[in-house]
Structure 1
Amino acid sequence: MPDLLATMTAAARETGAFLRDRRPPAPGRTLETLRDTFRSVDEPAVALLRERLRVAAPAAVWAGELDTELPEKGEAWVVDAIDGAVQYLRGLPHWCVSLALVRDREPVAAVLHSAMPGETYTAVAGGGAHRDGVPVVPADGGELAAAVVVTAQPPFPAGRPEAVAAAGRGLSAVLPAVAAVRHLGPVSWQIADVAAGRLDAFWEYGRDDANLLAGALIAREAGALVTDLAGRPWRAGAESILVAPEALHGELLALLA
């Protein structure tokens, strides 16, 4: 795994630098111009990642970013070249390159690189989680009333009315119980920051495999609990997720379930 992780890390950093240096002017305020501007940077970034990652796992298929379909057996790359694309296109720093190698529908290696602060999270199954080479662990203990928690929604939530309704109920339940609820951009990076103790918990309703697989592996390897909102271990295809240290997980699950 060291060679695999090194290749993934180099590819993520190279792609992050490419995107940082090629950031386009802010798009116009129509959905069409937003999509066109996004494609103008995302497509070459994905092509760069395909070229760099092909040597690391030649037999791995390339799973789509939206409506991600994973094979039951074998390896697949789940890649989001610009996790946090909306922020990226508006000139905000909250975006990252997200890479996960999945084997038999389980993530086995993950790299997240945020080009603006120059930070990189990495994890391999059974090998722990790190930020810039230093092991990370979730926050230890603390009261829920003092917690800073984060949430997000899956892409294009207008087409997922059940997830939208659940998100409203969940926010209403959690907001009075914690110090603050925030949405800090890329889903994968928010989960990794929970894994590293910068934030206290993350939850989301709706299937969002492409954005969750890398962060879920990092969180598990750091020692956080990663479940769906029924309390079952989170797996690709789940319709919800909760990531939190053991000390807070049960209380949040009771509020959200």
Structure 2
Amino acid sequence: MLLASDTAAIHAAIRAAGDLFLPNFRRLPVPQTMPDLQARLADIEARCLAALQGALAEAFPNTPWLAADEFALSADATALPAEYWLCDAMDGAIQYVQQLPGWTINLVLMRQAEPIFAAIYDPLAQELFWAQAGAGAFVNEAPLHPSTKREPGGMVAVFEHTHGLDQDMMLRQRVSQGLENLLGNYGVVRNYGPHGLQLAYIGAGRLDVFLQVGRDLENWLPGLLIAREAGAEVLTAAGQPWHWAADSLLVTAPGLGSAFVSYGYDSQ
């Protein structure tokens, strides 16, 4: 359990990092070439990471930092440090450069291969979603609770997919099958961009079902802890308990996961 002073330091750091980007939002031109886009994204990543590291250096002087791409390259969780920060910096950075809402600052503290503290900050809405393992989930200071809907026609489901669908036709077919099942069984199917924010919205009862087929662990972890601590159901797309090595993620309001699987999703 983190000290209250440590929690306050994390909250202040992630809010300050996100608010750095508010003054230029929709003031900079949308990049029109791939080199310009890549340069803008790299600048966002560097500025955000530097702000977070500088703000948390005093409270966590001995905790190393792993960028999302470094984490993704590690196939063995036991080979990673016992405790570390996992930072995607700005989740939804493409939305930011395209002058769209739906960009957040994501941060998760990992210990012994498990997330123990996560924070997702939406600067435009001034909403900070956060959770500590075993202590519940919150938006700002209000507790989070998933929806209690039971009629699929009134539910809002969201989906995500990994990169590389053009290179892996089997994965592409699995993604298509999952999306088809969502479209055929829920009243509204959407994608709202950042993984973490969508998962936090499951915890807040704003969304009812999240599905992603294909492994994307570094993007899942912050929102996964928040959704789980709020009381959401966390499974694989095949309806099995979610685990570190899973190559899919199904997060729903309580009791909805088994219903989705009964609609006929096939993970093979």
Q: Structure 1 length as normaliser, TM-score?
A: 0.92
1:224 has 2:232 as partner: yes
Cα–Cα, structure 1 residues 246 and 77, in superposed 2: closer, same or farther, change >3 Å?
same
* 2:20 equivalent in structure 1: 18
Q: CA deviation at 1:161?
A: 4.4
Distance 1:97 1:160 in 2: 30
Q: Secondary structure at the match of 1:141?
A: coil
* 1:195 equivalent in structure 2: 203
How large is the RMSD of aligned CA atoms in angstroms? 1.9
Identity score, percent: 32
Picking from 3, 8, 12, the partner of 2:10 is 8
Equivalent residues of 1:140, 1:247 under 8 A apart: no
Cα–Cα, structure 1 residues 116 and 68, in superposed 2: closer, same or farther, change >3 Å?
farther
Which residue type is aligned with residue 139 of structure 1? S
Correspondence 1:103-252 to 2 at 5 A: 103-155=111-163, 157-158=165-166, 161-252=169-260
Equivalent residues of 1:60, 1:74 under 8 A apart: no
- Larger displacement relative to structure 2 (133-142 or 148-157): 148-157
Equivalent residues of 2:157, 2:186 under 8 A apart: yes
Cα–Cα, structure 1 residues 121 and 230, in superposed 2: closer, same or farther, change >3 Å?
same
Equivalent residues of 2:44, 2:90 under 8 A apart: no
- Larger displacement relative to structure 2 (4-13 or 18-27): 18-27
Q: Structure 2 length as normaliser, TM-score?
A: 0.89
Which residue type is aligned with residue 21 of structure 1? P
What are the ranges of 5 or more consecutive residues in structure 1 without an aligned counterpart? Answer: none
- Larger displacement relative to structure 2 (77-86 or 27-36): 27-36
Distance 2:155 2:47 in 1: 40
Q: CA deviation at 1:33?
A: 1.7
* 1:77 equivalent in structure 2: 85
Q: CA deviation at 1:36?
A: 0.8
Which residue type is aligned with residue 40 of structure 2? T
* 2:41 equivalent in structure 1: 38
Which residue type is aligned with residue 34 of structure 1? L
Q: Deviations over 1:137-157 (max 9, x none)?
A: 100132122211111123565
Distance 1:14 1:156 in 2: 34
Which residue type is aligned with residue 242 of structure 1? L
Distance 1:19 1:90 in 2: 13
1:63 has 2:66 as partner: yes
* 2:55 equivalent in structure 1: 52
